[in-house]
Structure 1
Amino acid sequence: MAEGTVSGVVEAVSAGTSRASTADFPAVVRTATGSVPSGRAVPNGARNWRARYARALRITDFVIIVGVVFGTQLGWLGFHTQVAMPVQTWPGVSSYTALSCLIVLSWLLALAVADTRSARVIGVGPVEYQRVFNSSVMLFGLIAIAAFLLQVEASRGYLLIALPAGVLLLLLGRYLWRVWLRAKRRKGEYSARVLLVGSERSVKHTADELRRSRSAGYIVAGACIPAHRSAEVLDGSDIPVMGGVSSVESALKLTGADTVVITSTDELGPTRVKQISWTLEAGKQHLVLAPSITDIAGPRIHTRPVAGLPLMHVETPRFSPAQRFVKRMMDIFGSLFMLLLLSPAFLVISLLVLFTPGRPVIYKQARIGRHGREFRMWKFRSMIPDAEGMLQSLLDAQDHGNRVQFKMKNDPRITPIGRVLRKYSLDELPQLFNVLGGSMSLVGPRPPIQREVEQYDDHVHRRFLVKPGITGLWQVSGRSSLSWDDSVRLDLSYVENWSVMSDLVILFKTFKAALVPGDTTG
């Protein structure tokens, strides 16, 4: 399933056409997203959003690939240029125009075979981007092998331009569609309508996780709870109860749900779960098993059918030397590039801070890093002198942080220049030197101070398994508006599920947040 929702979901789609009676249910079920009249399904347009969205992606991919491939040919070679190759080996491809047509068709086929438009990967998470990238690179690898074996002397520049340009534009196209999709999902559109089935406690837990990220595209339409009759709403929530587990088929028709999420199976049993799967309409209704474990990313989850049992294997977090080497190389080259690129900004900011009251320009603060070791973190000074000495007197006035991290929306210690620097996260630029020196990483958990560490519960110390970062999930997910529990959850989720692609996604979101800042208290 997608990041930010119930993680580690095993999804199985089964077929069936049977429907149960809706006579035992009220005429209208009111939910947070509207009402569905009794006996009337959700309109086909609402149900077919997956097909419409996939069709839009298919058209966009086609336009991009055709534009890139033929644009590269026209700009680099011109039309109908002959390919140097034995005509008898591959008589159908004797010009670059024919070769371009073959590449376009093969590229579109590769994206389709990799299932890059599946409803299970679109909207959130890096899997969609990974599939687009991997299938494109694999295609051009196969083209290179085929050209070698068939002695095709195709222009290297033609291929070297078309591949990276095409991949970048495909990823950009997917990102722009994802922005549009998330806007629709915030309005309750282009989302799966979910019927939760399980114990009351597990239903509430799963509903909370699904609602944590509306962009994942799951709207809770109702719940079926063992030993419960239909009621107005579930206690302590706005989820309508549609009856017990024997009412799933009728509840599906009444609520218009297209996805059944089994949140616990103690009361259901394997036979009942199988019966539920048989009643679902193939390709239009889906069955999802949601385990109680959360914040586990896809690469750590593997399913293995054994004697008819869909066993889920959850790998323990591993930090191999190869992974650490890759991350360190990303940090070194990334920080060097950004230091060179932003060197004029360093000079301007240094002069601005220099003319504000107090010294120094660069503020050094003790922070706790990997394995609990202390290091000096660098920042442009954004506060008045003796800001630390004023902290104790401001603790009672805290209005924007949480029980461990101190934040104030209008902190009187921050200078006018400092407010601008913090708004755009420019005060954190000197931490690039920390990254280059090895005490920090570009992406990682928030670097805490000793006073905060002293308040940590035992499990929170797992965040010290990796280096702290300039940015991280905590920064692109709310920063100061997060509760302490949410901050810990995001940091530990990053530590246990690290990947190169997740770092790239977080860096992209950080640049976007810096250009269009929201909360400025972090």
Structure 2
Amino acid sequence: MRHHQPDNSATGLVRRPTAAPRPIGRRETSRWYPPLAVAADVSGVFVPVLTVYGLAAEPRPLAAAAVATVSWVTVRVIHHRYRPRSLGETRGLLPTVHDWLIFLGLLAGLRAVTGEQSAVASALAALLPSLLITATTGALIHRHLLAQRHRAQAVRRVLVVGEPGPVDEVTAQLAARTDHAYVVIGTVLVGDAGELTSGVPEMGRLPAAVDRSPAIPDLIPEGPDGSTVLAAARRQDADLVLVAPGCLLTGERLRRVCWAVQDAGLRLAVASGLSEVALRRLTVSTAAGLNLLHIAPPLRNGPQPALKSVLDRVAAGVALVALSPLLLTLALAVSLDSRGPALYRQTRIGYRGTPFTLWKFRTMVADAESRRPELEGLNEHLSGPLFKIRRDPRVTRLGRFLRRTSLDELPQLVNVLRGQMSLVGPRPPLPEEVARYGAVELRRLGVKPGITGPWQVSGRSDLSWDEGLALDLFYTDNWSVTGDLDVLARTFRAVVDGRGAY
């Protein structure tokens, strides 16, 4: 998913909602999401099964279509796929595949119990459209919701409570992207020192120390802290109170603020301070009354990395054989288009800093490297070690087409087959780029580089260095085989779109 730049308006980092104020606790989304999802699931099963069974002269096509439809909708309902609050929050591709496999298992069980005798090929042909239609519908709803979020609609109005430093960090993180539901509309600061730098309106301030006088709970049931927070939430019509704990807001004081907020019927969330950690790596436990957040380590050893390596090499080998006519055609075209070899090789840095030779179809003139110093002043990535020019004069006519379609990357299948690269991973850096890396940047070398990856499917060269680095670091720490499949599915759209390919 594409990262969006922070709002450059007078409010600095704050996305300002354009919709009319909403009642507390309500998040508005399009009401047609659930009906559309149900209609797509029903039609995606009933119509294909009825059509295929009718054309194949299978017995009882109407009954088969009805049973399959009810089974598919039941699986989706059990997994809460039609909840308004969850629809559109993700593309839903992997959950759809998961549901569809369960759906096939359920129908296989019913087939065994009832003795249904339709041809297996007919059944699979009739059921495959349900996977495609449901996945496409989920992607369309997701894109529509993202478009609403980009306009600060279908959001939850958030009041952030905490000390100025943590509040600024939380606010900046939420404002840097628009692919989530939260928009900060006010803050309540804790302590007498410090001011916000984000431009978010301050709606109140809690003292550094809480008054323990026994008279206060009698006069103000929610306590002085809770009273200030609730007054600010009501004044800003907040849907959610987000607490950023610190040394001045912890323990019993934090507990009382939580009581006050929840007793008033407001939703409450507490920022853990963690960022860029996949949800699947987090678990919660309790010990001695403390709520503990456990973080699973990144996948470095075990069955998933082994499976990834096997899938990479098998897929690369099959692709090289299947695409050999195309590869030969492109090699001939590159040789005829401009003087020089068809293939271009370059030293890149791979897994754990190991150098390797990367192969690509040549997209530049033969003396491109010697001409680079004279073009340094035109580099559009001044914030990092990358060297990119949108209209690089060294790129050939055919090279522009190859870059836009990513066909120049196909020879890297050889690198994947040799185990130097993966199908999915961070962009393989140049040695001079790695020479400028710090400890944070070096972490992206903890996995094999990939032909495609989060950088490639999120805008490629249109991304700043910091945005690309954030994507690569998130992938390095949170990759999984299912996540790789998701990136591969998104790669096709990125190639067709061609955005950022230069």
Q: Distance in 2 between matches of 1:319 and 1:71?
A: 48
Q: Return the match for 1:238 from 199, 218, 226.
A: 199
Q: Return the match for 1:136 from 87, 95, 100.
A: 100
Matched length: 470
Q: Is the 8 A contact 2:26 2:239 kept in 1?
A: no
**What is the CA distance between 1:378 and its match in structure 2?**
0.6
Secondary structure class of the residue paired with 1:383: coil
**What is the CA distance between 1:474 and its match in structure 2?**
1.7
Q: Is the 8 A contact 1:3 1:124 kept in 2?
A: no
Q: Is the 8 A contact 1:116 1:132 kept in 2?
A: no
Q: Is the 8 A contact 2:15 2:152 kept in 1?
A: no
Which residues in structure 2 correspond to 1:169-180 (within 5 Å)? 169-180=133-144
1:53 match: 33
Residue deviations 1:194-228, cap 9 Å, x none? 22222222222222222232122322222222247
- Confirm whether residue 486 of structure 1 aligns to residue 470 of structure 2: no
Secondary structure class of the residue paired with 2:372: helix
Secondary structure class of the residue paired with 1:365: strand
Which stretch shows the higher mean deviation, 345-354 or 116-125? 116-125
Residue deviations 1:393-415, cap 9 Å, x none? 33333233533111222323222
Q: Which has the higher contact order (CA 8 A, sep 6+)?
A: 1
Q: Is the 8 A contact 1:36 1:255 kept in 2?
A: no
**What is the CA distance between 1:447 and its match in structure 2?**
0.7
Q: Distance in 2 between matches of 1:318 and 1:394?
A: 41
- Confirm whether residue 359 of structure 1 aligns to residue 340 of structure 2: yes
2:216 match: none
- Confirm whether residue 468 of structure 1 aligns to residue 455 of structure 2: no
Residue deviations 1:436-466, cap 9 Å, x none? 2321111101111111111111343332232
Q: Distance in 2 between matches of 1:404 and 1:60?
A: 47
Which residues in structure 2 correspond to 1:176-195 (within 5 Å)? 176-195=140-159
- Confirm whether residue 102 of structure 1 aligns to residue 67 of structure 2: yes
2:284 match: 303
Secondary structure class of the residue paired with 1:491: helix
Which stretch shows the higher mean deviation, 157-166 or 174-183? 157-166
The CA RMSD over aligned residues, in Å, is 3.2
1:113 match: 78
2:220 match: none
Which stretch shows the higher mean deviation, 245-254 or 43-52? 43-52
With over 3 angstroms needed to count, the CA separation of the structure-2 counterparts of 1:120 and 1:42, relative to structure 1, is: closer
Q: Is the 8 A contact 2:363 2:399 kept in 1?
A: yes
2:174 match: 210
With over 3 angstroms needed to count, the CA separation of the structure-2 counterparts of 1:184 and 1:3, relative to structure 1, is: closer
Q: Is the 8 A contact 1:400 1:481 kept in 2?
A: no
**What is the CA distance between 1:497 and its match in structure 2?**
0.7
Q: Distance in 2 between matches of 1:439 and 1:495?
A: 16
**What is the CA distance between 1:58 and its match in structure 2?**
2.9
- Confirm whether residue 274 of structure 1 aligns to residue 274 of structure 2: no
Residue deviations 1:294-323, cap 9 Å, x none? 111122111224455432211111223421
- Confirm whether residue 226 of structure 1 aligns to residue 190 of structure 2: yes
With over 3 angstroms needed to count, the CA separation of the structure-2 counterparts of 1:35 and 1:366, relative to structure 1, is: closer
Unaligned runs of 5+ in 1: 6-30, 82-94
Q: Is the 8 A contact 2:312 2:416 kept in 1?
A: yes
Which stretch shows the higher mean deviation, 487-496 or 144-153? 144-153
Which stretch shows the higher mean deviation, 146-155 or 99-108? 146-155
With over 3 angstroms needed to count, the CA separation of the structure-2 counterparts of 1:195 and 1:496, relative to structure 1, is: same
Q: Is the 8 A contact 1:304 1:310 kept in 2?
A: yes
Q: Return the match for 2:242 from 261, 272, 286.
A: 261
**What is the CA distance between 1:498 and its match in structure 2?**
0.8
**What is the CA distance between 1:334 and its match in structure 2?**
3.3
With over 3 angstroms needed to count, the CA separation of the structure-2 counterparts of 1:318 and 1:280, relative to structure 1, is: farther
1:515 match: 496
**What is the CA distance between 1:332 and its match in structure 2?**
3.0
1:327 match: 308
Q: Is the 8 A contact 1:280 1:286 kept in 2?
A: no
Q: Is the 8 A contact 1:76 1:158 kept in 2?
A: yes
Q: Percent identity?
A: 32
Q: Distance in 2 between matches of 1:414 and 1:329?
A: 35
Unaligned runs of 5+ in 2: 5-13, 207-224
Q: Distance in 2 between matches of 1:403 and 1:146?
A: 58
1:73 match: 53
**What is the CA distance between 1:344 and its match in structure 2?**
4.6
Residue deviations 1:144-177, cap 9 Å, x none? 2344355554543344234433122211111122
2:384 match: 403
Secondary structure class of the residue paired with 2:198: coil
Q: Distance in 2 between matches of 1:459 and 1:45?
A: 39
Secondary structure class of the residue paired with 1:355: helix
2:16 match: 33
Q: Is the 8 A contact 1:401 1:483 kept in 2?
A: no
**What is the CA distance between 1:272 and its match in structure 2?**
2.5
With over 3 angstroms needed to count, the CA separation of the structure-2 counterparts of 1:475 and 1:3, relative to structure 1, is: closer
- The one-letter amino acid paired with 2:457 is V
Q: Distance in 1 between matches of 2:24 and 2:260?
A: 22
1:19 match: none
Q: Distance in 2 between matches of 1:277 and 1:155?
A: 59
Q: Distance in 2 between matches of 1:367 and 1:330?
A: 23
With over 3 angstroms needed to count, the CA separation of the structure-2 counterparts of 1:309 and 1:138, relative to structure 1, is: farther
Q: Is the 8 A contact 1:442 1:469 kept in 2?
A: yes
